[in-house]
Amino acid sequence: MKKWIIITIIAVCGAIMLLGLRLFYHSEISGDTPPIPTVSVSDERALQVNLGSYTWKAAVDTFTDYNQFLSNLTTVAPGTELQIAFSNKPKPKSIEVTIAQKAQGDLWIENGLLIAIKGGSGAIEVPYEKGTYVYRLSAAWEFGTAASYYFSVEVK
């Protein structure tokens, strides 16, 4: 009997500690939407970054297709370095960057994972091939919070 009481007490204390850690972490998450990263060109021009699908206190799916991100194209030279930074806390635990290139008409070619970034900042280099590209940043925090962001460049 004593054995079951001790096991129950330990289980309840463990559950309270886990709940406390989860509440502590979520207290760092503020606002109803994830923080928007800054993406800038080496000449300090900022690119328009659009929030896509996310899980952040509520789930919202806003992505339709890559063409919706072409209205805010930033023209860059081949091989230009882009800086990615999350200035707000909490910073994501990981960021994955993928790229899609515009083909003919409404067709897009997805080139897969470009780079994985640990922490809240990093840099990527745009392709040397001229064309229109849409980048997707997938950021992940702890406890199932995640977001996708999109920005577009035209390499000339």
At 72-99, the pLDDT tens digits run 889 999 999 999 988 877 888 888 888 8
Residue 26's pLDDT is: 47
- Three-state DSSP at 8 gives helix
Answer for the pair 49, 37: CB distance below 8 angstroms, yes or no: yes
Is the per-residue pLDDT at 61 higher than 60? yes
The structure tokens listed for 63 are 């992505």
How far apart, in whole angstroms, are the C-alpha atoms of residue 72 and residue 25? 35
CATH code of the domain made up of 38-155 = 2.70.50.50
Beta partners for residue 150, in sequence order: 50, 136
Cβ proximity of 99 and 108 under 8 Å: no
Please state, in angstroms and as integers, the Cα–Cα distance from residue 32 to each residue in 51, 89, 126, following that order. Answer: 13, 14, 32
- What pLDDT is stored for residue 90 in this prediction? 80
Each domain of the chain, given as residue ranges in start order, spans 1-30, 38-155
3-state helix, strand, coil in the chain (%, to 5): 20, 40, 35
Q: What is the pLDDT of residue 107?
A: 81
- With beta carbons less than 8 A apart as the criterion, state whether 49 and 139 touch: no
pLDDT tens track for 2-35: 665 665 566 554 445 544 444 444 445 667 778 8
As a whole number of Å, the CA-based R_g of the chain is: 20
Tens of pLDDT, residues 103-140: 877 788 887 767 777 767 888 899 999 999 999 899 98
Would you say the pTM of this structure is higher than 0.85?
no
